[in-house]
Amino acid sequence: MKKLSSSAIAHPNIALIKYWGNKNQALRIPVNGSISFNLDSLFTKTEVTFISELTSDILFINGHETTGLGLDRVVSFLNIVREQAGTQSFAKVNSENNFPVGTGIASSASAFAALSLAASNAIGLDLSEKELSCLARRGSGSASRSIPEGFVEWFPGVMDTDSYAVSIAPARHWGLVDLVAVVTHEHKKVGSTAGHELANTSPLQKARVDDTKRRLDIVREAIKYHDFQAMAEMVELDSNMMHAVMMTSRPVLMYWENTSISIMKNVQKWRASGIPVCYTMDAGPNVHVITTKDYSEDIYQKLACMNGIKQIFIAAVGGKARLVND
Ligand code: DP6
């Protein structure tokens, strides 16, 4: 029996400037560039084994066999890998996350980044970081940003081969911390893939996209010079703009819960009192509260005192997707 196996680890990432809407939905070519950093303490570990005797792909997530839409998405992705490698063999995919899926921590980012690296390596493709980022993007747009290390920018590009992400600073460049305030563990009703398709139904999307270069430039510079205040204002503006688009789409996407709003208001009060802290939210009710290492314990205590927060994850800036042996 011929068996080709590889394991990889990848971190999710939090976008400081968001990806929302595609020019090409099938290829996941985004309408705008985005900037993120990887979250070091959260990860997906995925083992891919191509087995010649298998008659279809099989998927296990956190130990449970997964079928339906989750499997379909992985099969479509593995078809791209098989096409690139020129082989037919099916695979067993075993994926484990150390954080809850479907709540606003982008599990698809770490999942498809780890899957890209493990699957391409197992099948014998030797891809550059750029090629890996392009491949991961086909599985989930934000996964393109979980391939390179630290602080990352995804250039939108116009076609499959020029829409990829690069590291703009290593993880050690700036000691930021993301405290993820989990507001609910429930699976979100409308995921990001369906959400991207609605972006253009909002009259606000064009204004958001037209202003993106300015926000990207400011955040890129703020990262370079460790300018928390400049970053904070753009990060909150960008999150608010994306959620304004979501709330004015048809049908309406409303991810904010009462607790999400209370956290955002408190974060603004804390920053007004001189603490370097800001918020951002993805396609879910959780609030990512970003601060520096020096203030992370203080912010943790403040969040822990609030009602309605179920759990708090703490993550510093993380490294790139990497192969692991076992
Ligand atoms: C709100 O990358 O999850 O988190 O490409 O359909 O998998 P798909 O979408 P996804 O979208 C992420 C949207 C976001 C913003 C961001 O991470 O940039």
Domain ranges of the chain: 3-172, 174-316
Pocket test for ligand 1, best of 38, 180, 282 (most atoms within 8 A of CB): 282
Matching residue, tokens 């829409």? 163
pLDDT digits 0-9 by tens, 43-101: 999 999 999 999 999 999 999 999 999 999 999 999 999 999 999 999 999 999 998 66
pLDDT for position 104: 55
- Are 3-172 and 174-316 the same fold in CATH? no
pLDDT for position 247: 98
322: how many CB neighbours lie within 10 A of its CB?
A: 14
Nearest CA to ligand 1 atom 7: 140
What CATH number belongs to 174-316?
3.30.70.890
Question: What does the pLDDT average to over 242-270?
Answer: 97
pLDDT digits 0-9 by tens, 15-42: 999 999 999 999 999 999 999 999 999 9
Question: What does the pLDDT average to over 4-22?
Answer: 97
pLDDT for position 127: 97
Residue 317 has pLDDT above 80, yes or no: yes
**17 Cα nearest atom in ligand 1:** 18
Burial classification of residue 258, based on how many CB atoms lie within 10 Å of its CB (0-12 exposed, 13-18 middle, 19 or more buried): exposed
Query: In the structure, which protein residues have their CB atom closer than 6 angstroms to any atom of ligand 1?
Result: 15, 18-20, 28, 34, 106, 108, 140-142, 192-193, 196, 282-283
Residue 103 has pLDDT above 60, yes or no: no
**18 Cα nearest atom in ligand 1:** 18
- Which residues touch 255 (CB under 8 Å, ≥6 apart)? 104, 188, 243, 246, 281, 283, 284, 285
Distance CA 319, CA 305 (A): 31
Q: Which CATH architecture has domain 3-172?
A: 2-Layer Sandwich (3.30)
Per-residue burial over 56-90, b = 16 or more CB atoms within 10 Å of its CB, e = otherwise? ebbbebeeeebeeeebebbbebbebbbeebeeebb
CA of 52 from ligand 1 middle (Å) equals 34
**Pick from 147, 125, 127: nearest CA to 136:** 147
Q: How far apart, in Å, are the Cα atoms of 249 and each of 194, 197, 199? A: 12, 10, 6
Residue 8 has pLDDT above 90, yes or no: yes
